[in-house]
Chain A
Amino acid sequence: MKRLLSTTALIAMATATTASAETLRIGLATAQTGGLAPYDAPVIEGVHIAVDEINATGGIGGTTPIELVERDVRSDPAQTSIAAQELVDDGVSVLVLPCDADPALAAIGIVAAAQVPAISTCASSPTLPLIGGDYMFANFPGDNVQATVSAEWAWGEGMKTGYILYSPDTQYTTMPLYFAEVFEKLGGQMLGEDTYSIGQQDFSAITTRIAALSPQPDVVMTSAYEPDFPSFLKALRAAGVTSQVIGSDGIDSPTTFSLGDAAEGVVFSTAGHATPGSPLEAFNAKYEEVMGHPTETVFNAVGYDLIKVIEAAALAAGSTEPQALRDAIADLENVQGATSMITYKGTDGMPVRQVSLIRVKGGERELVGQPSPTADLVPAARMQ
């Protein structure tokens, strides 16, 4: 006990006298290989860019450099929990967890017991902080918010009938259920729904059924992502269905823009759009400068956002102590990230962030709008 006391005293002295001796240690337990790597790997690139940028100026507030401790969890929930335990034992102040709600939740017991704040790289299910508790934060516009923005846009464009395709396999792929809920609340009519399995490959049976509907739905909404989305879309168009298709952030990927006529006019919601003079445009330029090639996905910028949130929390807390950081994150308001302003204050851990609606036009992205959803319409998180 005596030794512990003196160590504590030493640390206190160190922090009091030379703040520069302090570093903020962030544990990254993310998927660099496996099925989630397509999302986590670009996020971590953005994390590195932000950390290098901050450390080049001497650290957070010019005094507290950031140290990253990295683990690859191979997209495996069990491995995520092991890595989280190792990092917590290693004394990190903040944990970064994988993109999907399910592996992120695998670490929840450890996060809660150690009382270390954890942020998922890009999980967007609003159930994540609900199940995860006080120490779990998300870093992406919620599925229910994205679906509300899409549904309000479709209704505003005069679309009256809809059809959804969803998969019960993950929380994320059930986003169309939120869409249907909002669309019906607005007065729209759902003509039907279909389910698919992730990685299903063949959608011809489903698209034949949609093509046989009379009249055709005005809008078809899905949160399927690669490889399912291109397969579905190509099959849908080949079956002769010309309805408006709405997707979500999972299809914000080069494949969507290289599908030619099939993808023309598709609208999807995502985390940001590089309008001229926007922080995202500046980030994209910086990314190209650092990495030597242009960014392929908004997930790079989302990683940058994540560090900006931690930086803002550390500045507000004036400390690298986990509990102080958690309280600071929960109280953050209008942090300027690369994609949007980010607010945690008043939420349960699902940040308020801007949603951008993008249209595919001639193989390029065209901004439809960055509308704020009507708060009353946003559906409550659906527990699976």
Chain B
Amino acid sequence: MEILLQQTVNAFALGGTYALLALGLAIVFSIMGLINFAHGELMTIGGYVLMYCGLAGLPFALTVGLAILSTTLAAMLMERIAFRPVRNASGATMLITSFAVSMILQVLFQNFISVRSQPVLLPQLLSDSVRVGGFIIGVNKLLAIAATVVMLVFLDWFMKHQKTGIAMRAAAEDFAVARLMGIRANSVIAGAFALSGLLAGVAAVLWVSQRASVDPLMGFTPVLKAFIAAILGGLGSLRGAVAGGFALGFIEIYLAAFLPAAWQEFRDPIGLGIVVGVLLLRPNGLIPAASLKAQKV
């Protein structure tokens, strides 16, 4: 029983990180129809900012702020430089563009920073753990859960009560009509990228605080997980992305925790098998986007 609860805490922490990642992809997809595979490189940028600020000896709180700011700006730059010119092109063009951005950034990191992993100095507190009742919970797990809750509450408020947020929801439902109502396409799309950059920044801090290093290719795994989570939840749906992220986190942790030892080697295929199974039952994902319903199924 105690193990089950302990593993559930682990699942919440991992699922929360996946949820933030999937949200970052979903926000951009809901408005532009673009799956931004360079989302992972935003995290890498955040990681390098953490590394350089750590080397410069800045206080950790300031470092985190700068890392999140840098990913937000980088996301907006990415939109301005790479995605605006192909905004009206086909989905495939945009997808390939995002792959290109991702690869170009990786090679730039390799050539101008280092091909090798660079250590990120983290406060000792993040490696510690606290005892709550009979459990031992890592501080970085608690932070991951707290950060997820804060970000979800913030996003909910932003989307419901902020003008830009409401405009983004309108654009996600029907971009053409939203524009006819006087919503500026440029600002909505830039806003979506900024938000996705913000989420990438928070996710980057959580991700890097676990691995304590940053390397040029580190963005690949998180973006892959985010993609799976976003599809599982329902591509383009923000609530779906959160549900998909948590579902993926729970699947991964529970399989790693409770699968018999002989089966552990096949953990990943089994996990993906479950995802496929869910999609067979719910082809549009757990919580499909409203706009998708008219087009498919």
Q: Which of A192, A212, A238 has the most CB of B within 10 A?
A: A238
Q: Which of A27-41 contact B (CB under 8 A)?
A: 32-35, 37-38, 41
Query: In the complex, are the beta carbons of A38 and B116 less than 8 A apart?
Result: yes
CB distance from A306 to the nearest CB of B (A): 18
| Residue B215 at the chain A interface, CB threshold 8 Å | yes
Question: Number of residues in B with C-beta < 8 Å to the partner?
Answer: 46
CB distance from A61 to the nearest CB of B (A): 34
Kindly list chain A residues whose C-beta atoms are within 8 Å of the C-beta of B110: 33, 37
CB distance from A256 to the nearest CB of B (A): 8
Chain B binding site: helix, strand, loop or mixed by DSSP?
helix
Docked Cα-Cα span, A239 to B216, in Å, equals: 29
| Residue B93 at the chain A interface, CB threshold 8 Å | no
| Residue A209 at the chain B interface, CB threshold 8 Å | yes
Docked Cα-Cα span, A237 to B129, in Å, equals: 9
Closest chain A residue, CB of each to CB of B126: A234
Q: Which of A239, A255, A262 makes the CB contact (< 8 A) with B117?
A: A255
Query: In the complex, are the beta carbons of A204 and B14 less than 8 A apart?
Result: yes
Docked Cα-Cα span, A201 to B207, in Å, equals: 8
- Chain B 204-247 interface mask (CB, 8 Å, partner A; 1/0): 00010011110101101110000000000000000000000000
Docked Cα-Cα span, A194 to B7, in Å, equals: 16
Closest chain A residue, CB of each to CB of B110: A33
Kindly list chain B residues whose C-beta atoms are within 8 Å of the C-beta of A237: 127
Q: Which of A34, A204, A230 has the most CB of B within 10 A?
A: A204
| Residue B66 at the chain A interface, CB threshold 8 Å | no
| Residue A258 at the chain B interface, CB threshold 8 Å | yes
Decide yes or no: A230 and B213 within 8 Å by CB, A37-B115, A168-B265 being known contacts.
yes
| Residue B138 at the chain A interface, CB threshold 8 Å | yes
Q: Which of B1-49 contact A (CB under 8 A)?
A: 3, 6-7, 10, 13-14
Query: In the complex, are the beta carbons of A260 and B127 less than 8 A apart?
Result: yes
Query: In the complex, are the beta carbons of A227 and B211 less than 8 A apart?
Result: yes
Query: In the complex, are the beta carbons of B136 and A211 less than 8 A apart?
Result: yes
CB distance from A177 to the nearest CB of B (A): 12
CB distance from B56 to the nearest CB of A (A): 15
CB distance from B240 to the nearest CB of A (A): 22
Closest chain B residue, CB of each to CB of A31: B115
Docked Cα-Cα span, A296 to B215, in Å, equals: 15
| Residue A85 at the chain B interface, CB threshold 8 Å | no
Kindly list chain A residues whose C-beta atoms are within 8 Å of the C-beta of B210: 201-202, 231, 234-235
| Residue B58 at the chain A interface, CB threshold 8 Å | no
- Chain B 234-276 interface mask (CB, 8 Å, partner A; 1/0): 0000000000000000001110110001001101100000000
Query: In the complex, are the beta carbons of B264 and A258 less than 8 A apart?
Result: no
Query: In the complex, are the beta carbons of A253 and B116 less than 8 A apart?
Result: yes
Q: Which of A42, A227, A239, A259 makes the CB contact (< 8 A) with B215?
A: A227
Q: Which of A267-306 contact B (CB under 8 A)?
A: 296-297
Docked Cα-Cα span, A193 to B110, in Å, equals: 35
| Residue A206 at the chain B interface, CB threshold 8 Å | yes
Decide yes or no: A238 and B212 within 8 Å by CB, A296-B116, A297-B116 being known contacts.
no
Query: In the complex, are the beta carbons of B221 and A199 less than 8 A apart?
Result: yes
CB distance from A33 to the nearest CB of B (A): 6
Kindly list chain B residues whose C-beta atoms are within 8 Å of the C-beta of A181: none
Question: Number of residues in A with C-beta < 8 Å to the partner?
Answer: 45
| Residue A58 at the chain B interface, CB threshold 8 Å | no
Q: Which of A208-264 contact B (CB under 8 A)?
A: 208-209, 211-212, 226-227, 230-231, 234-235, 237-240, 253-255, 257-262
Query: In the complex, are the beta carbons of B127 and A208 less than 8 A apart?
Result: no
Kindly list chain A residues whose C-beta atoms are within 8 Å of the C-beta of B118: 254-255
Kindly list chain A residues whose C-beta atoms are within 8 Å of the C-beta of B129: 238-240
Kindly list chain B residues whose C-beta atoms are within 8 Å of the C-beta of A208: 3, 6-7, 10, 257
Kindly list chain A residues whose C-beta atoms are within 8 Å of the C-beta of B156: none
Docked Cα-Cα span, A209 to B4, in Å, equals: 10
Kindly list chain B residues whose C-beta atoms are within 8 Å of the C-beta of A227: 117, 211, 213, 215, 218
Docked Cα-Cα span, A254 to B119, in Å, equals: 6
Q: Which of B121, B221, B254 makes the CB contact (< 8 A) with A201?
A: B221
Query: In the complex, are the beta carbons of A206 and B115 less than 8 A apart?
Result: no
Kindly list chain B residues whose C-beta atoms are within 8 Å of the C-beta of A254: 118-119
Closest chain B residue, CB of each to CB of A200: B221
| Residue B140 at the chain A interface, CB threshold 8 Å | yes
Q: Which of B119, B127, B136, B261 makes the CB contact (< 8 A) with A261?
A: B127
Docked Cα-Cα span, A222 to B221, in Å, equals: 21
Kindly list chain B residues whose C-beta atoms are within 8 Å of the C-beta of A37: 110, 115-116
Docked Cα-Cα span, A220 to B118, in Å, equals: 25
Docked Cα-Cα span, A211 to B220, in Å, equals: 30
| Residue A372 at the chain B interface, CB threshold 8 Å | no
Q: Which of A35, A209, A226 has the most CB of B within 10 A?
A: A226
Decide yes or no: A259 and B116 within 8 Å by CB, A204-B141, A208-B10, A239-B129 being known contacts.
no
What would be 27 A-B contacts, judged by CB atoms less than 8 Å apart?
A33-B107, A33-B115, A35-B217, A38-B116, A194-B264, A197-B267, A201-B207, A201-B221, A201-B222, A202-B14, A204-B253, A205-B7, A226-B213, A230-B212, A231-B210, A234-B140, A235-B138, A235-B210, A237-B127, A238-B140, A238-B141, A239-B136, A240-B136, A253-B117, A257-B119, A258-B121, A296-B116
The residues of A with any CB-CB pair to B shorter than 8 Å are 32-35, 37-38, 41-42, 168, 192-195, 197, 199, 201-202, 204-206, 208-209, 211-212, 226-227, 230-231, 234-235, 237-240, 253-255, 257-262, 296-297
The residues of B with any CB-CB pair to A shorter than 8 Å are 3, 6-7, 10, 13-14, 107, 110, 115-122, 124, 127-129, 136, 138-141, 207, 210-213, 215, 217-218, 220-222, 252-254, 256-257, 261, 264-265, 267-268
Q: A38-B117, A253-B119, A255-B119 are in contact. List 20 more A-B contacts (CB 8 A).
A: A192-B261, A194-B261, A201-B210, A202-B252, A204-B141, A205-B252, A206-B256, A208-B6, A208-B7, A212-B3, A226-B213, A230-B212, A238-B136, A238-B139, A254-B119, A259-B127, A259-B212, A260-B122, A260-B127, A297-B116
**Which 10 pairs between the two chains have the least Cβ-Cβ distance?**
A238-B138, A205-B256, A204-B10, A37-B115, A258-B119, A227-B211, A255-B119, A255-B213, A205-B257, A230-B212
